[in-house]
Structure 1
Amino acid sequence: MEISSILNTNRFQFHHHFIIHPLSSSFPTIPSISHPTPRACFTNLTSAPPPATPFKEPSPTRPHSKSYLKRQSALLQLQQSSNLSSSLQELGGILKPQDLNVVLRHFGNLGKWHHLSQLFDWMQQHGKTNGSSYSTYMKVMGKKLSPVKALGIYNGCIRIKNGHYKALELIKELKYNGLEMDNVMYGTLLAVCASSGLSEEAQNYFNQMKDEGLSPNLYHYSSLLNAYSYDGNYRKSDELMEELKSSGLAPNKVILTTLLKVYVRGGLFEKSRKLLSELEALGYAEDEMPYCLLMDGLSKAGRLDEARSVFAEMHEKRVKSALCRSELFEEAKKLAQDFEAKYNKYDLVMLNTMLCAYCRAGDMESVMQTMKKMDELAISPDYSTFHILIKYFCKEKLYLLAYKIMEDMHGKGYHPEEELCFSLIVQLGKMKAHSEAFSVYNMLRYSKRTMCKARHEKILHILIAGKLFKDAYVVVKDNSEHISQPAIKKFASAFMKFGNINLINDVLKVIHGSGYKIDQGLFQTAVSRYIAQPEKKELLLQLLQWMPGQGYAVDSTTRNLILKNSELLGRQLTAEILSKQHIMSKGSQSKR
């Protein structure tokens, strides 16, 4: 049967390209496409740089490496720059966090506070910070640092490797600089401790907060409770709940759900059931989170019968999510099949959960049957449906099918998450589906979400490999500040040779505007292409007239080529243009 016969409706709109056989072991085949072996295609962009090391001179007995000399030169240029933004764009890529920390201290010593803040913001945006960057910045800024800015730096610090301990050091720095802790900063600190599972530290800060006369709110109680949940410390959690109530605060949905997590992780399943009933009575159990917490705990404890009883009582299948997280995929699949046989009634939530179970178990035939069932019942897919299917088909290396689903998802107004999009972009690029990769890039680019800047350069390389030079030009034109100089050079060289001749001048202007110094090889290639097509002589004339104003002049090789074909523009006009370029070139050399 064809997927299109199942999915070619108003809900799933696919093309008649993918064939699936009725055998459960068969998968859709895509003509002329060999499935590449999956590999890790991108690194964690938020991971921290290695710890800073002092910027030391190498041993005098050992010659400097080229990379060291290049970094040293860039560091000095940055310190002396009058246009920091432009210099960072040109030199920032080759400098390491420890190099930039030196510049931070340099600006601090000179009292260049604006440069200091500008550089630190750039370092954060481009992932060029390490633990020392934060402490350096806070030390040199001292009391000039506002509480709001300090909190922002603190939040940034806790995201780096071992950043929690660096953040605690910065708390001392904050106090040294005269900035007092308040409810907001204590709230952030408690949340950090909770996310790191540091319950004792969280409790100490909670007590310290009260000792300083600050009154905890529900957020503070929730964070401390969350810290207790890491090891299921239900005794301290119960004491905290008593304190919360005696303070006059009423526990909300977040507090009670977090308490449920404590009981589940502490193995108090009977107490968990009672609390779940309380959540239901208060109307706090309308979504699946409380049920999943309990069923996840039961399934991990090997108490699958009890997990099934929770499932049966509620007439829902949310338990399959817990089973899947425990990697009990066959159990989840069987439970989905049992539900179908027993109840024979569906809604979107049920079908999505069944779909998830079948996808995790790798049961293609059941996946297709579930999708067919959605069509028969006129149930429209939602974000979760599309997300489940795209991840599944990517896992099965059916990247073109995943692309078609993502295309339909985008058409329905849903925005896929960035990591999923980019993973698909990389795989489509590897299988030479370059235009499809660019289409996914555009879905991501025009969504309301902020896109990681490194993605622009990656798609540029894919487009160059696919010879989609016009699309590559659009990427460079709109995002040149986020693309490295080597990548721009690669694009420019390819476009001059193979790109649309009518856009050559536009491309040269864009790459010049990006700060890239156009080399003579590019001009020679452009001029050669224009001369080879005499009907493009106006474009040649425009290029030659534009060059002197930007400080460019053709070299002797290109000059001789133009003179050899001077009849194209006319001998007199050719002589005038080359004369102007020669005068400009001589003037530039004399200034040096």
Structure 2
Amino acid sequence: MTTAAVDLASSVASGILNLGKDNFRVSSVKNTESRVSIGRRKQLSAGLVRAVSGDGKTVTRTSRWVYRGRQLISQTVVQPLPSASKAEGPWKRDLLELIADITGAENLETVLQPWVSVLTSEEWNKILLEVGNRDWTLAMDVFKVFKTQSPLVKESPSNEGSDSLDFPAGISKGNSSDSNRSKRSKPSPLLRGYTTIVGVLSRKGRLSELDMIVHEMREENVEPDLRFFNGVAEAYSNLGLVSYVSQVIVQMEQSGIQPDKTTFELMIFAALKAKSTQLRKALQVFQEMLENNMEVGVKTYLKLIDACADAGDIQAADEVFMAMRSSGHTIYSKTWVKMIQLHGSIGGYKEAEEIFRALRAAGIPPSAAVYDALLLAYCHAGCLDQAFSVFREYKLATKPSLMGYNYLIEASGKSGRYEESLALYSDLCSNGLRPSTVTFTSLICAMVQAGHYEKADRLYKKMLQKGVSPNAYTYTAMIRAYTACSWTRLGHEVCMKMREDKIQMGALVYGALLNLYLQGRWYKEAAGIIKEMDRAGIEPDVAGYGVLISSLGESGEEIAPVVKAMQASDWEPCWVATFLVDTPAGAEAEAEIAVALEKIWSIFEEWAAFKDREANRSFYNAIMDALWRRGLRRRARSVMLKARDLLPWYNRPRRGLTSVLDLRGLSVGGAQVALLDWLEDLAIYSEQSTSMVIHTGSNDPGGGRYNAGRGKGMGAVKQAVTAYLEEMCSPFRELAELGPGKLQARTELVVKWLSRRDSKDALRLHDYV
């Protein structure tokens, strides 16, 4: 730079300090300081000074005045001159500075006026984008200045005769379909501006303003191109408006413009974002892209896989994943994990293994997340040996995560291998991991399932000491543990703690509380739970209904609050049960009962049609249990026979010419009713076999069971039936060679036993008044 140029720059800088108030409206630095906060940076409007050096190749400009603290500082720069054609106009400042001025301007046209003639089309679009990201309304104002004042718009040729715009926002449809429109030259500056502003409105979701822009284009005969159509389609896609995107594609084709990969991907995104996700539509468009050899982006693959996973459509997810692998796209660990988890969630460990092998073949080292996903697959499938084998490999490769430990602890507990759950807990702590709510809850549930209630209690207390917050499942498990131990007061304290923690209580938690209070004979508290559930509109689950109905087997005034609460509820099963159990037996009531039973049988028929097996079985088991305990044996038998008639699958006890009585899946009362009913037909069986077998064991866990009756756990039926037969001096005995839970007797001994008068009277199926 020449000395003259530098001197000129210095004189410009010093001259600006003396500018009048018409330029900066600052009379003195002191007056200005009063409007500037200490420590903040305040920018003033820039003074524009243009000075040409002696060689005519540089220009000196003071671009901005800023306050730093309380000091006013001027910035002076020397930059090359613009091209000769624009040398007469004011020099263009940096675009970011101009955008900052636009954002804070009170008069937009005043700020833009010096730059209208010198900004290029690319620079206008950059400004529109940057301003639009901050304020779409301001971007619209900038676009208006561009359209009305920029010479680029005036110089660009007009697009006559275009009437092809017809979008869902309400534009009338044109008839033009000139195929030559698909072969356009470089878009005009005006079309580029329209495309940019459409993108701004699309990202902001401004459909009404987008409609206005389309109207303007029709009025000004600006013909859209592929990018413009895609911009409009993007606006509708972002809002999940599938039909609107479809109409845009139709308009494109009518205008002679073929949709590209971006267009089809926007249709896929729209289908996935729709209020009711249209996964089938998205997959259909995806298949069309593959059939037409269109490139599919990584984002599209990932979104489709996520959507298939959310919908539980594993087959579709596999197809998308295979297509992604064939496309040559790099598949990162996160996607491999997603696919393994998807199969693992349903126990598909073989498919998870195949994906795991493919990951290794691709040269990707398994991460902790990959091992966690594979563990999930084995644990859900109940393949604990394979899970532990993978876990050993996991520990050699990297430090296992807390999630991996939790998967194994939970699976071990559910499989009855509680010792391994405890060993994993110790290993987890040794590795410096902090047990979580899931860790403690899984351990507590394992202890409760194994019947180690005191260990569960110790784990619960340790959980509280470590400051780990229990969840609804933790509290429910502890309530069940205290119920099994008859520690009703401790269970009640857990209930109070749960309410203090504001845990949301659903049917599962309420069912556990009902069982706690009814087993502990806290009938007022149980009645309060019934009323609370009824007010909240929460219906008991299967176990809850079983506990409530079975409790009707108790008699006396103490149970009265529970009975009244059940009768006052909106729960039809409770109405039916209370009538069957509370209506006394006797000749004077037989006619009334017969009529009522016919009505009840019609309700049973309705339930048989829409209730699942577990609900039906639990209902019948609970009613028979309550009726047996109240001495209403004939009525209990009527319920059992009706269940056989209405439910073809209700084959327990099995009937026919058989000497084997299978009591598995029945409640304590139901099993005893079935036993007496079976013994009444002994004459039929005695002619067919030399021995008789009663199967009292249970290989049907969860089959409508509930914690009622006097027995404990899975052996409740065995305890009750065995005790009853021993009390009656029956010849049935448990033989080791038959296996546990099976009682056998020679037929001739059973016939002889039943011929005794005392046995006949005790085994009669009649109602005790």
The structure number with the bigger radius of gyration is 2
TM-score clears 0.5: no
Greater relative CO (CA pairs within 8 A, separation 6+): 1
TM-score by length of 2: 0.31
Give the structure with the larger strand fraction: 2
Compare the two structures and name the one with the higher helix fraction: 1
TM-score by length of 1: 0.40
